[in-house]
Chains A and B, each alone.
Chain A
Amino acid sequence: MSSKFDVIVVGAGLAGSAAALEMARAGLNVCIIERAIVPGEKNVTGGVMFKGILDEFIPNWKNEAPIERWISKKGIGMVTAESLSLMQYETERNDGYNACTLNRVHFDSWLANKAEEAGATLLTNTLVEDVILEDGFVKGVKTHHADGFIYADIVICADGVNSLVAQKAGLRKQDIKPKDIGLGIKEILSLPEETINERFGLKGSEGCAYEFVGEFLNGVYGGAFLYTNRNTLSIGIVVNLGSIAETSVNSRAILEHFKNQPQIKKFLEGGSLVEYSAHLVPEVGLDMVPQLYGNGILVTGDAAGLVINNGFSIQGMNYAIASGREAGKTAVDCIRKGNASARELASYKTQLDQSFVGKNLKKFQNTHKVLANPRIGREYPVLIDNIAKNLFGFEDTIQPSLSSTLKNSLRGNVSPWQLIKDGFEIWRYM
């Protein structure tokens, strides 16, 4: 197999297929190379898809994309061994559905298919082992097939968080470090649709998504999530690899511990495990973004570390689509100009910086430092539990005032100085 394309995209995930779709629409000869048998089979989501970018990119997507549920309810909770303090936002607005849950095999296959329909070639079952370098320019890729050299003027690396291709091409000089990465572990539990609707107070295709911190983390920087699919629940944790190493806490035990918190257990009752999965999550935003372009090459999506956590919602899939699309646009310009030099491809970074991707990366570049505060997983859930049980009258005492509740809850738990310091950081970086 020896062929030549305008552009090769490595990886048929969301970033890759978005790039390919953008370029195929513009008439470029594009090949997407995917190592899985079916696009999406290697991918795992621990969250929801925020829809803004799709509305713009594929206006009719709502009517054709396979989605699970529309998020009408979102919350964050603090969990202790005896309690759950939940802050929840719920909306009845019909146009309020800003996000949805999805199954990556269904959704990624759909997006890859859109790129194919637009004229891109999808090559599955194929692992890209390296790039072909000629005179300092990337000129294509080497696959594991015999005689598997495929040539192109530009290669777009959309090969995910373990982007060995970007590394081999020299765009990521140093490998990502444990402290830059979260390990996601997820279980899918099956439950009848009606049971999910009743249990979570949902109607029809409405869904909910919750994120949690709490004592179950055992001092590890991370969190847990629970969200509804049509007839399954996704439950899991994301824990920082550097923090696991520092604390010597077992990652699998954190998930078990979380599932066994009494308030969480009630949500899961009767659910039977249908799949177990794990995936890495880029966690430090701008601090881990590699060189995004070189001669004949661009990096996008998780491969470029483009995930943003502002403390209330973690977004990655929409950033993958947005950044993939920008990479595609830049590639179209450069192919038309007949110039794939790093100098020309640099406009990808300029465009990205000006888009919501780059702006949010910059705005939340220090948020991960706030979230890594060990008190979020240890002292604060207990503090909130204390305040809540007093204020809501769960303690059989003379009703305390707000100020004395706060004062008593803080005592021996968090020093006022720490509280002010943490509060200041939250104010400043989140």
Chain B
Amino acid sequence: MNTTEKLLRVNFNPDDTPHIKVDTSICNECSTQICLNICPAERFTLESGKMRFVVDGCLECGACRISCETDAVTWNFPHGGCGVRFRLG
């Protein structure tokens, strides 16, 4: 089962503004692109060699916030009442 199918099993209450912003122009120059290996929701992907970030489906773990060494990630919590809603955490 791929990550997208796994995320279909998770409840979300979408936020009106993205709680994470990624400056992908920095990522495209990044030598490690560690986020690709770290994000459990696979929100960081490479498309034709360019970094793509999609905030919908974020599990709000904060791994990208802590691991990104280039300051490309601006991380915050979603607004109150928004974001992931685990039923079986």
Contact = CB atoms under 8 A, between A and B. Distances in A.
A225 to B, nearest CB: 14
A164 B67 CA distance: 16
B76 interface: yes
A398 to B, nearest CB: 46
A287 interface: no
B42 interface: yes
Contact of A188 (B60, B77, B88): B88
Interface in A134-191: 143-145, 161-162, 164, 175-178, 181, 183-185, 187-188
Contact of A45 (B3, B76, B83, B89): B89
Contacts, number: 130
Contacts of B86: 40-44, 104-105, 275, 277
Nearest to B1: A273
A184 B37 CA distance: 14
A37 B85 contact: yes
B18 interface: no
A88 B45 CA distance: 41
Contacts of B41: 278
21 contacts: A37-B85, A40-B86, A40-B89, A42-B86, A43-B86, A103-B88, A104-B89, A124-B81, A126-B80, A126-B81, A162-B62, A187-B6, A188-B88, A241-B66, A245-B34, A248-B34, A250-B36, A251-B40, A273-B1, A275-B89, A276-B6
B89 A185 contact: no
Nearest to A107: B89
Interface in B7-37: 7, 9-10, 13, 32, 34, 36-37
B1 A241 contact: no
A59 B76 CA distance: 38
B84 interface: yes
A279 interface: yes
Nearest to B3: A252
B61 interface: yes
* Interface-central residue, A42, A164, A248, by most chain B CB under 10 Å: A42
Interface residues of A, number: 51
A280 B89 CA distance: 13
Given A251-B40, A280-B62, A178 B85 contact: no
* Interface-central residue, B10, B37, B83, by most chain A CB under 10 Å: B37
Contacts of A161: 62
Contact of A42 (B34, B40, B63, B84): B84
B59 interface: yes
Given A42-B60, A251-B37, A178 B76 contact: no
A278 B59 contact: yes
B27 to A, nearest CB: 15
B88 A275 contact: yes
A144 B89 contact: no
A105 B89 CA distance: 7
B10 A277 contact: yes
B80 A177 contact: no
